[in-house]
A and B are shown apart, each in its own frame.
Chain A
Amino acid sequence: MTDIATVTQQLLAQAGKVVSGKDEVVRLAWVAILSDGHVLLEDLPGVGKTSLAQTLGRLLSLDYQRVQFTSDLLPADVVGAQVYRRDEEAFQFHPGPVFTQLLLADELNRATPKAQSALLEAMEEGQVSSDGVTHALPVPFHVIATQNPQSQAGTYPLPESQLDRFFMRLSLGYPDLESEKGLLSGTRGRSLLAELKPVLTTDQLQVLKAEVETVKVSDAVLSYVMRLVHSSRESGLCRLGLSPRGALALMTAARAMALVEGRRYVMPDDVQRVFPAVAGHRIQGQREHDTAVLVQQLLDEVDVIAA
């Protein structure tokens, strides 16, 4: 049961019933969770962001909460608030929806920066403060935030510093023909959510997470990662290169990806596979253009094998 490759197989098979045809996205999200990271899902409305979050919560037997971010949402709505208890004649902390193991922060960019930052503190610190009292969050704690593309009206785009706190940014995109057919005919989709059976317990998940760190990284791969990172900073392609936190995330994600693939060592293929998701939202080009193109250019130009 703890053979991670098998677990991944099961996870993908189960998730495929709900989020059909998106194996790679599910796998990357799974890698992010193994790496103890948070995921930003950036997509158009109605392509299955919520379904993915719910599916993962269910399959990994994580407590699941959802907060719909709106422009009038207050930090207390997320974190919780001190409530006066008359019978005890004292204030008592009422935990907000953030006290859960998997939090779906839906349409994060619709909320004001103030409400956004309440969530971001929780993501970074693993704890929240209310009226000077610090409350630890449950372990594990994962956030899957969704965001509509910023071109849409009425949004507050996340600043770079906050984007950096998301381990990965993923995008689902429209389903392919076959998946859409299944969706429309009712053989696939959210209606099947209730049928899903967990593939892991929370404890087993924690054990697997601990294994990520044990994955070996050879000098050749380390050098490749460093060249990638260096190139993002020095090549002149990017206005904003990959931060050290981003580089660390890249390394961790590559380890987790190797583990998911059933290997105990990292290959450049793993690095390349996670690179767009890990780096895409952390770097910026010289001009306004799609960072996906930029990321691909970095991957194309940096030699995998040191000269």
Chain B
Amino acid sequence: MTQYVPIMHRVMPLPVLWVLLLVQGVMVVPFLFYLPLWLGVVFVLVLVWRWRVTHGDMRKAPRSLIILAILVGIGGLLLSGLRAYNLDSAVALCVLGYLLKSLEVMRRRDGIFQAYLGYFLTGIFLLYNYTPVGALVAIVMVLANTLALHAVTADQTFRWKRGTKLSLALMVAAVPIMVAGFLFFPRLPPLWSIPNDERGAQTGMSDEVDPGSVASLAQSTEPAFRVQFEGDPPPRQQWYWRGTTLGDFDGRVWRARFRDRNRFQWPRGQLPLAQPGAERFDYSVVLEATQQHWLYFLDWPTQVRGQDAYVLPDGRAARRNSLSQTYRYEAQSAEAVNWPNETALQWYQRLPEQGNEALRQWGLELRQTAGSDVAYIDAILNHIRTEPFRYTLQPPLYPSADSLSDFWFDGRLGFCSHYASAVAYLARVAGIPSRLVGGYLGGTYNQSGDFIQVRQMEAHAWVELWLNGQWQRVDPTAAVAPGRIDLNLDDWLSEDNPSDLPFGARFGRNLGPFNDLRFWWDSVQYQWQVSILNYQQSNALGLLEARFGRINPWHAAAAMAVFLGVLGLLMAWFTGLLQLPRRQPEPWASLRRVERQYGDRHAGETVSDFMARLAYEHPAQREALARLAQLIDTLAYDPQATLDASRRRDLKQRVEACLK
């Protein structure tokens, strides 16, 4: 016998199944750029299964097949190199489940589930890509899911035109809420997080440098940060962007004084003060997500303003939490500064007892002939200039414990870190406090956006020496490859070392007329980062704070959530989506009381049938149940019966008689 099937449990018509499948494709394909392609294989398998469905076999996949599919899916993901617990594997599992759900999506309620999961995935996608393109993709995803939701729930036959129209209309209707949320909803730190080390390999400066072990610098055209000056930027030769300072040397490796561990206990320091009359530069920086803590400044910084930003004693500035998203901060730099009294100078003079003996001897002899510290440094730089040293991004390895000596006397091939490392070492040999500074050099000025874009490939290292009570910048790279400092990196590389130019940069250059387009796109992305991703709430909140005083972001979030919740409930109420459970009117409330004690009435049972059944099960209550049934029936069905006070009392008594 055919069973009565509620609408949500009914099998969906074939066109709707196809719509769902299409939406699934729209959802999954963008993820394939970030997750193992194995998921694409799974999607193809699901398509094959669906093809079978279109040939009339509407049965659900058997349990064994589903289990097999899950095992194959997870196995494939493991083979694709996903680790047990991080963001990628969590998302990959989610997408896998979303795909495999197709094996059993037949009924309308399954379809609804799929659409809701789709919305969830849309949110997740934005973790991977928050560029303007990502936002467009997310909008398409939301539209597609709304379309699916419509297709699944529509009473009528699904029509593309109507469905698309409806999705767009809903999207447009949601814009005011979106804008309000964007403007006022506080940006909160995450409550919990999944490690995303797999994806977020740290970029930018490391806090240790071992020049001898690098055979080739990874050349990435990815942007590192973008800088916008309030006035005119300084000349290109001064575009030294400092990030880390590395003051601890063990003979091979330079390390930062304060390392990643215990970052909450790092001491606080001060930035230098601008010298009176020195030219100052105010600018804002939008830093890409580096997964690190360091902030970058034009040499030398005097002020920094950013959420959770602070300054370390060794001249670095950092942010408490690692940068998992782009981060915007404002800073001021000055041409000439007064450094605070350096209390840890001996820290910058320490050398290992052993190693690099030849270089040490060479340095000590040179110091004696030079006569003064300044002359000594000049002599070193002169040596680099005159001897056949060469700058290259593909240096040989210097694996021995005397790597600096090997470089200085034999190899003479290296990039900025090699030269900086050697010069800083030689300075210490002579007792001059020295440290390496890691950062970037140069950048590209974007005319349309009026900002400077600095790319990862423009990473650079130089030396700071403590001379005459000041930290002073010495860039030995200028001695070996002056063009690196004067020219745009692309221009310099393509003139001197075309093979060193990374593919992306070569590509962009050769496109010629498309350069404008590239600049335009860079500036769009910059604007996106400044005005959308790092939208400063202070303007919007300022108004509120002026009225209500300091606003705790958690309180603001709670208030916002309450506001949106109430708004949503009101909308649901007025559109009839929601019927608040009303207190049942009498006599049904009395019936409910009896049901709570004795068990529910069956759907097809009338009140007297129900009471008669109870009476059969509880013969002692027969009389009372019958009396109650009679009164309930009268109250419920006799249009002339009214529930006056005495009737109400009577009803109550009869109910209680039954419940004894």
CB contact between A236 and one of B5, B591, B638 (< 8 Å): that residue = B5
- Verify if A9 is at the interface (C-beta below 8 Å from B): no
- Verify if B33 is at the interface (C-beta below 8 Å from A): no
- Verify if A300 is at the interface (C-beta below 8 Å from B): yes
**A and B contact pairs by CB, cutoff 8 A, 26 listed:** A216-B640, A218-B637, A220-B636, A221-B637, A235-B4, A235-B5, A236-B2, A237-B2, A263-B638, A264-B640, A265-B640, A267-B633, A269-B606, A269-B633, A286-B2, A287-B1, A289-B1, A293-B1, A297-B4, A299-B604, A301-B4, A302-B603, A303-B604, A304-B603, A304-B604, A305-B607
**Which A37-86 residues have C-beta < 8 A from chain B?**
none
Question: Shortest CB–CB separation between residue A17 and chain B, in angstroms?
Answer: 30
- Verify if A15 is at the interface (C-beta below 8 Å from B): no
Known interface pairs A237-B4, A286-B2; A267-B604 also in contact (CB < 8 Å): no
- Verify if A173 is at the interface (C-beta below 8 Å from B): no
- Contact assessment for B638 and A302 in the assembled complex, using a CB-CB cutoff below 8 Å: no
Footprint of A on B, CB under 8 Å? Answer: 1-2, 4-5, 588, 591, 601-609, 633, 636-640
CA gap between A289 and B636 in the complex, in Å: 36
- CB nearest neighbor in A for B10: A236
CB contact between B639 and one of A265, A289, A303 (< 8 Å): that residue = A265
- CB nearest neighbor in B for A238: B2
Question: Shortest CB–CB separation between residue A303 and chain B, in angstroms?
Answer: 4
CA gap between A301 and B602 in the complex, in Å: 9
- CB nearest neighbor in B for A296: B604
Question: Shortest CB–CB separation between residue A266 and chain B, in angstroms?
Answer: 7
CA gap between A267 and B606 in the complex, in Å: 9
A305 contacts across to B, CB distance below 8 A:
588, 591, 601, 607
A299 contacts across to B, CB distance below 8 A:
604
- Contact assessment for A265 and B1 in the assembled complex, using a CB-CB cutoff below 8 Å: no
CA gap between A218 and B641 in the complex, in Å: 11
- Contact assessment for A268 and B637 in the assembled complex, using a CB-CB cutoff below 8 Å: yes
B609 contacts across to A, CB distance below 8 A:
269
Closest 5 CB pairs of A and B: A300-B604, A303-B603, A265-B638, A235-B4, A268-B606
- Verify if A148 is at the interface (C-beta below 8 Å from B): no
Question: Shortest CB–CB separation between residue B319 and chain A, in angstroms?
Answer: 56
Question: Shortest CB–CB separation between residue A3 and chain B, in angstroms?
Answer: 19
Question: Shortest CB–CB separation between residue B256 and chain A, in angstroms?
Answer: 68
CA gap between A220 and B637 in the complex, in Å: 7
Question: Shortest CB–CB separation between residue A267 and chain B, in angstroms?
Answer: 5
Question: Shortest CB–CB separation between residue A269 and chain B, in angstroms?
Answer: 5
- Verify if A272 is at the interface (C-beta below 8 Å from B): yes
- Contact assessment for B606 and A304 in the assembled complex, using a CB-CB cutoff below 8 Å: yes
- Contact assessment for A269 and B604 in the assembled complex, using a CB-CB cutoff below 8 Å: no
Give a binary string over A8-45; 1 marks a CB under 8 Å from any B CB, 0 the rest: 00000000000000000000000000000000000000
**Which A274-295 residues have C-beta < 8 A from chain B?**
285-287, 289, 293
CA gap between A239 and B601 in the complex, in Å: 29
- CB nearest neighbor in B for A300: B604
- CB nearest neighbor in A for B604: A300
CA gap between A299 and B1 in the complex, in Å: 16
- CB nearest neighbor in A for B638: A265
CB contact between A218 and one of B2, B603, B636 (< 8 Å): that residue = B636
Chain A: interface size category? 20 to 34
**Which A213-239 residues have C-beta < 8 A from chain B?**
216, 218, 220-221, 231, 235-237
A287 contacts across to B, CB distance below 8 A:
1-2
Footprint of B on A, CB under 8 Å? Answer: 216, 218, 220-221, 231, 235-237, 263-269, 272, 285-287, 289, 293, 297, 299-305
Question: Shortest CB–CB separation between residue A35 and chain B, in angstroms?
Answer: 19
B-side interface mostly: loop
A268 contacts across to B, CB distance below 8 A:
606-607, 637
- Contact assessment for B603 and A272 in the assembled complex, using a CB-CB cutoff below 8 Å: no
A221 contacts across to B, CB distance below 8 A:
637
B639 contacts across to A, CB distance below 8 A:
216, 218, 265
B603 contacts across to A, CB distance below 8 A:
300-304
- Contact assessment for A304 and B640 in the assembled complex, using a CB-CB cutoff below 8 Å: no
- Contact assessment for B604 and A265 in the assembled complex, using a CB-CB cutoff below 8 Å: no
CA gap between A161 and B5 in the complex, in Å: 28
A302 contacts across to B, CB distance below 8 A:
603-604
CA gap between A231 and B605 in the complex, in Å: 16
- Contact assessment for B638 and A272 in the assembled complex, using a CB-CB cutoff below 8 Å: no
- Contact assessment for B637 and A265 in the assembled complex, using a CB-CB cutoff below 8 Å: yes
A265 contacts across to B, CB distance below 8 A:
637-640
Question: Shortest CB–CB separation between residue B485 and chain A, in angstroms?
Answer: 80
Supply 9 further A-B pairs (C-beta < 8 A) apart from A265-B637, A269-B609: A220-B636, A237-B4, A263-B638, A264-B640, A267-B606, A285-B2, A297-B4, A303-B604, A304-B603
B605 contacts across to A, CB distance below 8 A:
304
CA gap between A286 and B639 in the complex, in Å: 38
Between A216, A231, A269, A287, the greatest number of chain B beta carbons within 10 A of the residue's beta carbon is seen for: A269
- Contact assessment for A218 and B638 in the assembled complex, using a CB-CB cutoff below 8 Å: yes
A236 contacts across to B, CB distance below 8 A:
2, 4-5
B633 contacts across to A, CB distance below 8 A:
267, 269
B604 contacts across to A, CB distance below 8 A:
272, 299-304
A269 contacts across to B, CB distance below 8 A:
606, 608-609, 633
CA gap between A221 and B637 in the complex, in Å: 7
B601 contacts across to A, CB distance below 8 A:
305
CA gap between A21 and B609 in the complex, in Å: 23
- Contact assessment for B637 and A267 in the assembled complex, using a CB-CB cutoff below 8 Å: yes
- CB nearest neighbor in B for A305: B588
A218 contacts across to B, CB distance below 8 A:
636-639
CA gap between A289 and B606 in the complex, in Å: 26
- CB nearest neighbor in B for A306: B588
Question: Shortest CB–CB separation between residue B546 and chain A, in angstroms?
Answer: 51
CB contact between B606 and one of A237, A272, A293 (< 8 Å): that residue = A272
Between B604, B607, B609, B639, the greatest number of chain A beta carbons within 10 A of the residue's beta carbon is seen for: B604
- Contact assessment for A300 and B637 in the assembled complex, using a CB-CB cutoff below 8 Å: no
Question: Shortest CB–CB separation between residue A237 and chain B, in angstroms?
Answer: 6
B4 contacts across to A, CB distance below 8 A:
231, 235-237, 297, 301
A263 contacts across to B, CB distance below 8 A:
638
- CB nearest neighbor in B for A268: B606
A237 contacts across to B, CB distance below 8 A:
2, 4
Question: Shortest CB–CB separation between residue B637 and chain A, in angstroms?
Answer: 5
A266 contacts across to B, CB distance below 8 A:
637
CA gap between A236 and B639 in the complex, in Å: 34
CA gap between A220 and B607 in the complex, in Å: 13
CA gap between A70 and B1 in the complex, in Å: 37
A303 contacts across to B, CB distance below 8 A:
603-604
CA gap between A293 and B633 in the complex, in Å: 27
Question: Shortest CB–CB separation between residue B210 and chain A, in angstroms?
Answer: 73
CA gap between A218 and B638 in the complex, in Å: 7
Question: Shortest CB–CB separation between residue A276 and chain B, in angstroms?
Answer: 13
Between A237, A263, A268, the greatest number of chain B beta carbons within 10 A of the residue's beta carbon is seen for: A268
- CB nearest neighbor in A for B602: A300
B602 contacts across to A, CB distance below 8 A:
300
- CB nearest neighbor in A for B588: A305
- CB nearest neighbor in A for B610: A304
Question: Shortest CB–CB separation between residue B645 and chain A, in angstroms?
Answer: 22
Between B588, B605, B637, the greatest number of chain A beta carbons within 10 A of the residue's beta carbon is seen for: B637
B638 contacts across to A, CB distance below 8 A:
216, 218, 263-265
B608 contacts across to A, CB distance below 8 A:
267, 269
- CB nearest neighbor in B for A258: B637
Question: Shortest CB–CB separation between residue B643 and chain A, in angstroms?
Answer: 13
CA gap between A237 and B2 in the complex, in Å: 6
A235 contacts across to B, CB distance below 8 A:
4-5
B2 contacts across to A, CB distance below 8 A:
236-237, 285-287
Between A237, A285, A303, A305, the greatest number of chain B beta carbons within 10 A of the residue's beta carbon is seen for: A305
- CB nearest neighbor in A for B6: A235
CA gap between A304 and B5 in the complex, in Å: 18
Question: Shortest CB–CB separation between residue A262 and chain B, in angstroms?
Answer: 13
